[in-house]
Amino acid sequence: IIDDYEVGQFACTHFLRRGRKTLSVVSPNYASKALSLRVIGYVNRAKELMGNGYRVKSLQVDNSDEGGYAAAMELVAQEPRPDAAFVANDRMINGFIKGLLHAGLEIARDIEVISFGNSMGNLWIVPSVTSFDYPVEEMARESMQILEAAIDGTLKAPVTRNFSVSCIFRDSSPAVEE
């Protein structure tokens, strides 16, 4: 299990600690528990830390580069324009970054961006994208061990595993200086 709610909370807290005030969240236009929890965690943390003055622009778009580009175009047209964006799924990040750059924004100065998934493209895109990384290999290894125990009959009870997610800070939203 990954605590997706906590991921959303962390993204919001990070942006606020970096002085961002006008928040946005971009998510795919389909429902899943994980995506919903990320978005709800983000919005609830904004409400908690910003009080009645909180403002979070939430967009749902196609889970594609085209959807990410469309979201960027919609956000840059907003008044006030968001200065922070949490993209809840990496599948949209390349289009989102391209849209922001096409609109003439300087990422990290005009708008900070964090995504979820830490795909290899996040490292190579310019600017590189801060992203949440989850331990895919460790999760797969644990799943195989559970499956083997189920097959050989040594699994006696339902199994739940908790996995930690880490934020990999890059150019689009650097770590907060302590």
At 178, list the tokens.
Answer: 């302590």
Q: What is the pTM of this model?
A: 0.89
Say what the pLDDT of residue 52 is.
Answer: 82
Give average pLDDT by consecutive 10-residue segment, the chain, 178 residues.
91 96 94 92 95 88 96 96 96 96 97 94 90 81 80 80 87 90
Which amino acid does the sequence have at 49? L
The answer for residues whose C-beta is within 8 angstroms of residue 28's C-beta and 6 or more apart is 35, 60, 61, 62, 63, 67, 88, 89, 91, 92
Q: Are 134 and 107 in contact (CB under 8 A)?
A: no
The secondary structure of residue 167, as a DSSP letter, is E
Backbone angles phi, psi at 153, to 5 degrees: 85, 5
3-class DSSP state for residue 2? strand
The answer for residues whose C-beta is within 8 angstroms of residue 66's C-beta and 6 or more apart is 95
Max CA separation in the chain (angstroms): 60
Alpha carbons 79 and 125: distance in angstroms, whole number:
28
Q: Are 76 and 107 in contact (CB under 8 A)?
A: no
- 32-56 burial string, b = 16+ CB within 10 Å, else e? eeebebbbebbbbbbeeeeeeebeb
